[in-house]
Amino acid sequence: MTDGTGALLTGTRRREQRTGPGPSRRGGTRPLAVLAAVFTLAQLVLVRPVLGLGWDEIVYTSQVTSHHPAAFFSAPRSRGVSLLVAPVASWSESTVLLRVYLALLSGLALHLALRSWRGLFPTRVLVTAGAFFASLWVTLFYGPQAMPNYWVAVGALTAVGCFLRHRADPSPGGPLWGVVAGAALMAWMRPTDAVWVTLPLLVLALAGRPGRPLPALAGGLLAGGVPWVVEAYTAFGGLRERLAEASRIQGGLGLNIAVDDQLRSLGGRALCRPCTGSMPHPVITLWWFVLPLLAVLGLIVAVRARRTLRTAVPLACATTAALPYLFMIEYAAPRFLQPAYALLAIPVADALWHLVTAARGKWRPAARALVALGLAGHLTVQLTVLVHTVDRNTDSRRDWARTADGLHRLGVRPPCLITGHEAIPIGYYTGCSSGATAGNNENTTAGEILRTAERIPVATLTGPGGTPPGYAEAWPVHRLGDLQVRIAPAPWSDRATGVPRAR
């Protein structure tokens, strides 16, 4: 199989040389660089750097800041995102600067990931694949955010592409560095996702003749995953305990059909938990059903052209990447499937080019018009959902900032502690620590909260329809929008109002 793939790769290069003057190595990367630049610019224009930090971003970013207390870090999370943002977040409070940094970095990462596929597919296929993935609203929205899934996606693209290039040309000095880097990046961000993505690669490496791909894959996974395993023993009592706690937080991993949940999330819901409500309009979800059909068409085209491996492998990796999020958890977030979308983009782009070039005679203009119309409609849908998602998230994060301003007026200023409804994001915007006595973010007890209230301001938030915790029932109540705010009386507070005096 290796020899056949190498021969096909050589034949492909020769055919590309015969079709025209042939781009130079530098010229072949220029379209990919242009695509990455457009992707970066689109993030800055459409998502806008002024978008405040979201809940999960706050958890990751607060681990490395010196200007905010660290939020509770639960078992499923990994430190990769925190280290990724550390060059900016460790010294600057500017969200705008962080967004620009991440947008530039995500554009560069996409460029490098697509370059790892050069020689396996023509440049036009790679540009189309990159444009498809980059134009998804979920990619544009999360590219400049401090979240792990986009980075798992580009790591998957890099590892799979370099793995296939090594099989095609196993000479020394080949692209094994990309296998190591891609696997390490995935494991650095989400170790369990890295294992699911690389399962087909591990099977191929074990089934093939002995060589370097298996050590490269294993080395990359270990390099990225060891910190998570070490933390399991230092903070969670062991690896088994951390995996069990991660499963509990995610609702208990097992056979859970979440396909319909993912469909509901396509309308722009960042987190669908619990995932109730009506489905988005069929126009919004249509691309999700067309995507696997085009990927299968890409596989058929590859089989007929006797270049099956380079299409079947990303399809297999996309399938294993998606399996846990479609069939093993009880909720959904559209970002979970980003690695699968990135890997599917390669065979999908190959299928689209087949549709516009294989037709003959009078059918060719019709095929091209149909593909162009479909892509235009797809882009319209993605941008519409993106604008709606950005607006909604901008409003919710401004609400957190307004609540923080109200808490400051009530005398709750750092150092301080926030508990109750949305304590993590509101605590971050207020500059306070956050605490919870129950739930997935449990990190304190009622007794510890009361003892803390003797030293610093403590506020408990109750959302609409909620009830205050027992330890705060007697605290003076204030209103901030839809929230009830109970502030603990303390030695430095005004006993009549419960509002802390300036110290």
Q: Per residue in 300-314, pLDDT tens? A: 999 999 999 999 999
Q: What is the mean pLDDT of residues 474-483?
A: 96
pLDDT digits (tens, 9 = 90+) for 28-70: 789 999 999 999 999 999 999 999 999 999 999 999 998 999 9
Residue 88 has pLDDT above 70, yes or no: yes
Q: What confidence score (pLDDT) does residue 500 get?
A: 53
Q: Buried (b) or exposed (e) across 6-23, using 16+ Cβ within 10 A? A: eebbeebeeeeeeeeeee
Q: Quote the pLDDT of residue 28.
A: 73
In percent, the amount of the chain with pLDDT more than 90 equals 82
Mean pLDDT of the 6-26 span: 39
Q: For all residues of the chain together, what is the average pLDDT?
A: 91
pLDDT of residue 11: 43
Phi/psi for 417 (5° steps) reads -135, 135
The whole-number pLDDT of residue 173 equals 59
Q: Which two tokens stand for residue 185?
A: 């990046």
Lowest mean pLDDT among 59-63, 79-83, 111-115, 270-274: 270-274
Q: pLDDT tens for residues 381-414?
A: 999 999 999 999 999 999 999 999 999 999 999 9
CA distance 222 to 307: 31
Note whether 425 and 400 are within 8 A (CB): yes
**Which pLDDT tens digit goes with each residue over 107-124?**
999 999 999 999 999 999
Torsion of Cα atoms, 69 then 73 then 78 then 83, to 10°:
0
Give the HSE-up count for residue 331: Cα atoms under 13 Å, Cβ half-sphere.
15
Which pLDDT score is estimated for 274?
A: 85
Angstrom CA distances, 488 to 360, 410, 475, stand at 77, 12, 6
Confidence of residue 168 (pLDDT cuts 50, 70, 90): confident
Residue 17 has pLDDT above 50, yes or no: no
Name the pLDDT band for 361 (thresholds 50, 70, 90): confident
Q: Which residues have a Cβ under 8 Å from the Cβ of 100 and sit 6 or more positions away?
A: 44, 49, 144
Res. 248 pLDDT band, cuts 50 70 90: very high
What's the pLDDT band for 145 if we cut at 50, 70, 90? very high
pLDDT of residue 210: 66
Q: What is the pTM of this model?
A: 0.91
Long-range contacts, 36-42 (Cβ 8 Å, 24+): 36/107, 36/108, 36/110, 36/111, 36/114, 36/130, 37/107, 38/134, 39/106, 39/107, 39/110, 39/130, 39/134, 39/140, 39/143, 40/103, 40/104, 40/106, 40/107, 42/134, 42/140
Answer yes or no: is pLDDT of 26 > 70.
Answer: no
What is the per-residue pLDDT for 359? 75
Q: What is the pLDDT of residue 12?
A: 40
pLDDT attached to residue 490: 73
**Cα R_g (the chain), whole angstroms:** 25
Query: Above 60 in pLDDT, residue 431?
Result: yes
- pLDDT at residue 21, rounded to an integer: 33
**Is 416 a residue whose pLDDT tops 70?**
yes
State the average pLDDT over residues 319-348. 96
pLDDT band with cut points at 50, 70 and 90 for residue 15: very low
Amino acid sitting at position 446:
A
Q: What is the pLDDT of residue 13?
A: 41
pLDDT higher than threshold 60 for residue 368: yes
- Residue 74 CA to residue 441 CA, distance in Å, equals 7
The predicted structure's pLDDT at residue 7: 40
Query: Do the strands 433-435 and 477-480 form a parallel or antiparallel pair, or are they unpaired?
Result: unpaired
